Amino acid sequence: MRGSVNRPPTPEAEDGRQDQHLSLQEIINIKLVESGEKERLKELLRERLIECGWRDEMKELCRSFVRKKGKNNVTVEDLINVITPKGRASVPDSVKAELLQHIRSFLGSAAL
């Protein structure tokens, strides 16, 4: 596994024992990112959501919001608030199942 060039130096060994504040979740998250799996999973999810038209739905929601509010009065937060509830709810079950399966298998391999 290649280390990042710009990574700050790891903390000294003396404080090492105290730094076990990292929760299991954070450890797994770090593993996910470092192995590149998080990026792969994100790409997979993005591709599936494009295929099923979810992305176009979200863009249409944004567009109608922009039309109502006027394009110069819109912030990114506005759009995120517009999309998030509908977006979370309208992910197809098959897509969600596929991603969860990948995640679980990663967790399984990471636990070993």
Partner 1 sequence: MSLPNDKNGNMSFNSQLSAHLFSDLLDSIIVDVASECHRTARLGLDCNLEIEEEELRLSAEARARLSDPSNGGDVNGKYIVDIFGQTHPPVANDIFECMNCGQSIMAGRFAPHLEKCMGKGRKARLKARRSSRLAQNRYARGSYVSSHSQYSSTSQLSNDTSDTTGEGYSNGAYEDP
Tell me the window of 4-12, 13-21, 51-59 that interacts with partner 1 (CB under 8 A): 51-59
> Applying CB under 8 A, does 52 fall inside the site for partner 1?
no
Instruction: Work out whether the CA dihedral 26, 28, 30, 33 comes out positive or negative.
Output: negative
DSSP 3-state of 27:
helix
Among 11, 51, 104, 109, binds partner 1 (CB under 8 A): 104
Instruction: Give me the 60-79 binding string for partner 1, x by CB under 8 A, dash otherwise.
Output: --xx--xx---xx-xxx--x
Name the token pair of 81: 């608030």
Exposed/middle/buried for residue 49 (C-beta within 10 Å: 0-12, 13-18, 19+):
buried
Q: Which is nearer to partner 1, 35 or 62 (CB)?
A: 62
Task: Say which residues have a Cβ less than 8 Å from residue 45's Cβ, sequence separation at least 6.
Answer: 95, 99
* Cβ count within 10 A of residue 54: 19
> Applying CB under 8 A, does 4 fall inside the site for partner 1?
no
Contact residues toward partner 1 (CB under 8 A) are 24-25, 27-29, 32, 38, 41-42, 45-46, 49, 55, 58-59, 62-63, 66-67, 71-72, 74-76, 79-80, 82-84, 87-88, 91, 96, 99-100, 103-104, 107, 110-111
